[in-house]
Amino acid sequence: MVGTAPFPCRTTDYLFLTQCEGWISQNAVYFNHVWLAIMYHFLQTGIHRVRALCRILRLTFLMEETAETHFKQAYEHPNFIRVSLQKKEVLAGCCVLATCRQHSWPIAMGTICCLLEANPRLIGVVYQEMVKTLKIEAPPTSIINLLETHCQAYKLSPQHVHEELSESSKDLTKRAAVLLELAADAWLVTGRQPIPILTASIFLAWQSLKPTQTRLKYTLARFCQMAKVTKSSIAPKRVTELKEVLCKLGQELPWLRGDEVTPQTVIQMVDDILNHRLTLLRRALSSHEEALASESVLPPSLEDSIPGSHTNTTCLEGAVSSQTPGQTPKDPFVGEPDTVSVQQQGDVDLTCTVVMEGLPHTGPGTDSQHSQPSVPNSGKRSLFEPPSVRYAKIRRVLVPVVEVTGDEEISDSEIDSYIRTPQEIRDYVEAKEALASSDDEF
Amino acid sequence: MDEDSALDDPIANVPVSTLHVQYFDDPIANVSVSISGTDCQCQGDYESSQCSGPSYLSSLSQPEKDVGKDLDLSFLPEETSGNDASNANVTQDSGVFDACRQEESAETDPKKVAMPGASTFCPMTPVIPVAESSGIIPMLQNIVSTVNLACPLDLKSIALQARNAEYNPKRFDAVIMRILEPRTTALIFSSGKMVCTGAKSEELCHLATRKFARVVQKLGFPAKFLDFKIHNMVASCDVCFPIRLEGLLLDHQQFSSYVPELFPGLIYRMVKPRIVLMIFVSGKVVLTGAKERREIYDAFENIYPILKGFRKQ
């Protein structure tokens, strides 16, 4: 019987134990042995799972050992001994993840999610608890390091796909790394999940390395299917954002002579854009500044120029003017010198700000072109900003706070309005009984 | 200590390391400098420092005494006394996480700090006044408080008689009651304890809790109003510039937790005051875990210079 206790369904070990409380008290020693045996059984299962994960990920022997040690320590810790079986399964993956991070082995949490087929949130919770419990330092991997590992998952060699569609992992990684750096500079990476942006960079890299009509016709979904990689619902949005950034830079290519660069046509130019991206960035920023300078001549009908600012905050000019206009081209342009003059003008118009903040940006070209004065935010926007700033959520109109001491008199009538009349109580009771009886009929 | 006495003498009970000028007064005209000498190590530092004039030390030993409107500069070194236009740039010294720097930076002449940008003098203990601060005031969004009504309650009867109550014992064993003005929600337990959430200021929270207690009273229970206490305050604000969270994580690893796979914001656990800040790439900051409004303001003033450092990178 020891070690072969049946567990027909996924239940918490703790529940099982409480149900057995009555028996346990009578035969304490025996059931203690049983309990220990059950725990040992699951420990062994967990260790096997850890080993399997390490083998799938082709980790070194040392890393496998470390992961096992972590798992044993965590499993036997009071924080984890009584958690559900599901959490124990996830714990195995979290130990592997922590080990990888400690050894600077780039692996994303999303990969562990896929391998365990578990809820990412649950993995996050268990991972953080485990790190806290074991007091280990597991520095997260940077996104560039993750790129190479992620690239290798894409089956694009000539053996797997048609020659026209194939691409070597090395070339793909190189091109995707540059695109990723560009995305990071343009605020597309901070605060976002890494895997969709990695997928988007690799997809655009693949398209741009050989921008034939065949490749350009491929959608992201089809590409993922071909490369045998899991589809992501967020990656298409990242592709759009990255294309927007490329369009902004592509616009500055001198040999285009002012032709419009659309997301459809930009892929062919990616090669040129990436090769000269520093120059293009500089040019884009300066033309954006010029566009803003010409706009500031117009009287701003509605204020609040700072992107995404709240109605309840007022930035002192000291805060903005401390920023120097001259910046290295690599850095994204944040804020503009001429916003200072606008801030000096006075109070923010509350309702207008609230309404306007929710308006989406009108398009990629608008930034560097002349914006309508009726849309205050876009005119003063910087060239690159985090999308959460550009597409800010519509905020609820703030009700002005009334001065209150907290000790005011409370009127009886107000309190009475919260209490049911006797008639209402009778009606309610009758309705409840009627409902209860109609339920009984079924 | 309730809000009224706090406004009268806000500095009296503040520990040395978080000494600040009153937020709502003119920092130049009305300065009261008093320190609570609870931190012995701090006192040691002060005594061994240059700034050890007799009046300064006496003010150390009288923590509750309101030094009044007169500014006592005798503790400052000779060459800097009377130099109005000079002060250290406070923002450089606001690293309260560094323990030894913290002791140094806890006390100074507030008058000198009023001039932004002019920094020929670096006092031992800069104070962060309103004028040189960020100028942004975090807005309170939610306050959680508890009160003891001190009588057992029949939740079924409350749910039956009150219009604004919901009670589902299978889901949660408390009545959920809401009032419209101020827009708040209360959880009322059968033991007589009550939790009130949703108020946007301490006064509104107090008023709302009293209204809930009155409703319970009117329903026929001998409800009292004991041990009203605010447990948590949440505030938010916007620094108006995007922030490089990766850089912030690298520099302040011991306080920060940034896992974009799980949560888009960086979670910064400030040690003093003990506040948790959620910092987002858009520049929005959420501060939580405060028991008093001052803690929120202090925490924001501490983080603002740090965030400015990550603005252009």
Residues A99-135 as b/e (b if ≥16 CB within 10 A, e otherwise) read: bbbbeebbbbbbbbbebbebebebbbebbebbbeebe
- The rounded distance, in Å, linking the Cα atoms of B186 and B144 is 10
Tokens at residue A83, please? 């958690």
Structure confidence at residue A13 (pLDDT) = 60
pLDDT by residue (tens digit) across A251-299? Answer: 888 888 777 888 889 999 999 899 998 999 999 999 999 998 888 876 5
pLDDT by residue (tens digit) across B272-289? Answer: 999 999 999 999 999 999
Mean pLDDT of A76-80: 83
B7 interface with A at CB cutoff 8 Å: no
Residue A154 and residue A229 in contact, taking contact as beta carbons nearer than 8 Å:
yes
Which residues in chain A touch residue B6, judged by CB atoms under 8 angstroms apart?
Answer: none
Looking at per-residue confidence, does B71 or A172 come out higher?
A172
Instruction: Indicate the SS3 state at residue A279.
Output: helix
Mean pLDDT, all residues of chain B: 73
Looking at per-residue confidence, does A423 or A142 come out higher?
A423
pTM over 0.90: no
Interchain pair A308, B238: CB under 8 A: yes
- The rounded distance, in Å, linking the Cα atoms of A395 and B206 is 26
List A residues 401-420 in contact with B (Cβ-Cβ < 8 A). 401, 404-408, 410, 414-420
Which residues in chain A touch residue B141, judged by CB atoms under 8 angstroms apart?
Answer: none
Residue A37 and residue A109 in contact, taking contact as beta carbons nearer than 8 Å:
no
- The rounded distance, in Å, linking the Cα atoms of A437 and A336 is 70
Looking at per-residue confidence, does A123 or A327 come out higher?
A123
Structure confidence at residue A87 (pLDDT) = 86
CA-to-CA separations, A116 to A56, A152, A313, B117, in angstroms, rounded: 12, 20, 45, 56
List A residues 321-360 in contact with B (Cβ-Cβ < 8 A). 322-323, 327, 331-332, 334-335
pLDDT band at A142 (very low <50, low <70, confident <90, very high): confident
Structure confidence at residue A257 (pLDDT) = 77
Structure confidence at residue A407 (pLDDT) = 87
pLDDT band at B71 (very low <50, low <70, confident <90, very high): low
Query: If you write DSSP's letter for every residue of A41-76 in order, what string do you get?
Result: HHHHHHHHHHHHHHHHTT--HHHHHHHHHHHHHHHH
Measured CA angle at B156 (ends B151, B157), to 5 deg: 70
Q: What is the DSSP letter of A394?
A: P
Residue A362 confidence (pLDDT) above 50: no
Looking at per-residue confidence, does A359 or A408 come out higher?
A408
Residue A382 and residue A333 in contact, taking contact as beta carbons nearer than 8 Å:
yes
Residue B246 and residue B259 in contact, taking contact as beta carbons nearer than 8 Å:
no
pLDDT band at B67 (very low <50, low <70, confident <90, very high): very low
Q: Please, which residues have CB within 8 angstroms of residue A67's CB and are 6 or more apart in sequence?
A: A50, A53, A54, A59, A95, A96, A98, A99
Which residues in chain B touch residue A110, judged by CB atoms under 8 angstroms apart?
Answer: 261
Q: What percent of chain A has pLDDT over 90?
A: 33
Torsion of CA B245, B248, B254, B259, to 10 degrees: 10
Instruction: Indicate the SS3 state at residue B278.
Output: strand
pLDDT by residue (tens digit) across A329-352? Answer: 444 433 333 333 333 333 333 333
Dihedral sign for Cα atoms in the order B290, B293, B294, B296: positive
pLDDT by residue (tens digit) across B105-160? Answer: 444 444 444 444 444 555 555 454 454 578 899 999 999 999 999 999 999 999 99
Looking at per-residue confidence, does A138 or A210 come out higher?
A210
Looking at per-residue confidence, does A351 or A130 come out higher?
A130
CA-only gyration radius of chain A, Å? 30
- Residue A257 Rama label (left phi>0; alpha psi -120 to 50; beta): left
B134 interface with A at CB cutoff 8 Å: yes
Predicted ipTM beyond 0.90:
no
Residues A31-49 as b/e (b if ≥16 CB within 10 A, e otherwise) read: beebbeebeeebbeebbeb
Instruction: Indicate the SS3 state at residue A391.
Output: coil
Mean pLDDT, all residues of chain A: 77
- To the nearest 10 degrees (0 to 180), the angle between helices A277-295 and A235-250 is 80
Residue A86 and residue A9 in contact, taking contact as beta carbons nearer than 8 Å:
no
Structure confidence at residue B22 (pLDDT) = 41
Structure confidence at residue A116 (pLDDT) = 87
- The rounded distance, in Å, linking the Cα atoms of B38 and B40 is 6
H/E stretch holding B276 reads: strand B275-279
Structure confidence at residue B57 (pLDDT) = 43
Mean pLDDT of A20-26: 64
Which of A120, A386, A408 has its CB closest to that of B242? A386
Interchain pair A121, B162: CB under 8 A: no
Structure confidence at residue A17 (pLDDT) = 60
Interchain pair A406, B203: CB under 8 A: yes
Mean pLDDT of B30-45: 40
Structure confidence at residue B73 (pLDDT) = 60
- How close is the nearest chain A Cα to the Cα of B182, in Å? 10
Sheet with B226-238, strands from edge to edge, namely B165-167, B175-179, B184-188, B193-199, B139-148, B226-238, B284-290, B275-279, B266-270, B256-257
Residue B10 confidence (pLDDT) above 80: no
